[in-house]
Amino acid sequence: MSRTGRLEKLLEHGDRLFDGFFEWLDGQYDAATGGFCYAASSRQADVCGPDIESTAQALNILERTGLIGRWSERMRRKAVRFFQTRQDPATGLFFHPDPRMRLDGVSVSRALGYSLGALRKLGAEPLHPVPERSPATPGYMDSPAAYGEWLRSVSLSNSWRGCDLISTSAAHLLALPPEKREPYLREAFAYLDAIQDPESGLWGEGTRYVRVSGTFKLHLFYERFGVPLPRKAEIYRSILETLRGDEAADMCYVRNPISLLSSIKRAIPSGELEEICEITLHNMGRLKQGDGGFSRELGHSVPAPNVAQVKPGEVYPDMPPPIVLGLGMEEGDMNAGTQAILIRYTLRELAGLPVKHFAVAEHLFTDRWEE
């Protein structure tokens, strides 16, 4: 059998990891609101219930897997209403019921992006104008000099956390007219290029998976402005060393290297690509849960996925109280599920194989929800 044939067989075998997944995803739908829950435990008292990010991620999964076409017009309208009713008419921003969200600029920015993207996907618009510069716009956007000072102040002792903060600032830069944006970008790329490790191609400090994950966050920043990621050969070598030598205890550690490999568009020797796929599928299998979903961390979900990368003992004064979406039980969660689906399709793309959707039971994601 040719190497391509072996690789295709390997990836098709890996599809067995998704046995029960679409039943799990179907079970996260909340017919009353038209939204999706993060995990089964999200329905319990004092937890968020259906949330903006999980609903948008579920829609992304359904679109990527070719299942969104099963939705009826009534279901589409209900999903549109889910997002529109979460827009604050006073600010134009989108919020969860949890008041702590308003304290977290990163979550506010993510909710805005997810909501606008979901509404576009559903063929709808927000009910209220979206501000170009919102109350959540930080003070570092006052001038390029202030932005440069802020960049240098961001701690990269945990590369993932620090690079995530830097990457999130892209949303504020994109809100500027191109001529005003340019001096901010000069500050950003001059600084980032100067602090990139010339040997590993990675940024910041932490374990190798933490540094690869931080580099993944910065690749998103570079990509949004059409700037090539520097030192791609060094980054590739670091990814391969990390996959071979370190434990992937978080679904992000499985997804981030694969997304980086896809982004840098570097030719991968067939033997190494087969090895990458084998390691990745093995790591995904360790995160599969009995309910059919995938969990963010080994053995359990995480209650607040957007701060899960910060471990006990790590202190970030700028970090607001976490927004709890689940109870962190032995269960699948939407954050891990959307990453698992992305990994599966990206591996086929890296292997040069055509898009191939899953065979999903016909009763799932249909109007039976409305009965």
Residues forming a β-bridge with 297: 250, 300
* Helices 178-195, 208-224: inter-axial angle, 10-degree rounding: 150
pLDDT score of 198: 97
Confidence of residue 315 (pLDDT cuts 50, 70, 90): very low
CB count in 10 Å sphere of residue 371:
6
**What is the chain's mean pLDDT, rounded?**
91
CB 133 within 8 A of CB 143: no
Backbone angles phi, psi at 297, to 5 degrees: -120, 160
Q: What is the mean pLDDT of residues 254-278?
A: 94
Q: How far apart are CA 82 and CA 91, in angstroms?
A: 18
pLDDT score of 21: 98
Q: Is the predicted pLDDT of residue 310 greater than 60, yes or no?
A: no
Tens of pLDDT, residue by residue over 193-207, are 999 999 999 999 999
3-state class (DSSP) for residue 197: coil
pLDDT score of 258: 97
Confidence of residue 370 (pLDDT cuts 50, 70, 90): low
Comparing C-alpha atoms, which of 291, 201, 314, 306 is closest to residue 250?
Answer: 306
Tens of pLDDT, residue by residue over 109-151, are 789 889 999 999 999 999 999 876 555 578 899 999 999 999 9
pLDDT score of 99: 80
Q: CA torsion 52→295→217→134, rounded to 10°?
A: 20
CB 55 within 8 A of CB 36: yes
Please report how many Cα atoms fall inside a 13 Å half-sphere around the Cα of residue 16, on the Cβ side.
Answer: 6
Query: What percentage of the chain exceeds 70 in pLDDT?
Result: 92
CB count in 10 Å sphere of residue 38:
33
More confident residue, 331 or 265: 331
Q: Is the predicted pLDDT of residue 224 greater than 60, yes or no?
A: yes
CB 214 within 8 A of CB 260: no
pLDDT score of 324: 82
Confidence of residue 45 (pLDDT cuts 50, 70, 90): low
pLDDT score of 210: 96
> Parallel, antiparallel, or unpaired: how do β-strands 29-30 and 35-36 relate?
antiparallel
Q: How far apart are CA 292 and CA 54, in angstroms?
A: 17
Q: Is the predicted pLDDT of residue 318 greater than 80, yes or no?
A: no
Give, in degrees to the nearest 5, the angle at Cα 209 between 310 and 278. 130
Tens of pLDDT, residue by residue over 72-111, are 999 999 999 999 999 999 989 999 887 878 877 778 878 9
Q: How far apart are CA 90 and CA 155, in angstroms?
A: 34
CB 219 within 8 A of CB 189: no
Tens of pLDDT, residue by residue over 319-330, are 566 778 889 999
Residue identified by tokens 């209900």 is 78
CB 343 within 8 A of CB 351: no
3-state class (DSSP) for residue 308: coil
Tens of pLDDT, residue by residue over 153-180, are 999 999 999 999 999 899 889 989 999 9
Q: Is the predicted pLDDT of residue 62 greater than 50, yes or no?
A: yes
pLDDT score of 265: 85
Interior/surface letters 115-142, b for 16+ CB within 10 angstroms, e for the rest = bbebbebbebebeeebeeebebbeebbe
Q: What is the mean pLDDT of residues 268-287?
A: 96
Tens of pLDDT, residue by residue over 333-347, are 999 999 999 999 999
pLDDT score of 319: 59
Tens of pLDDT, residue by residue over 16-26, are 999 999 999 99
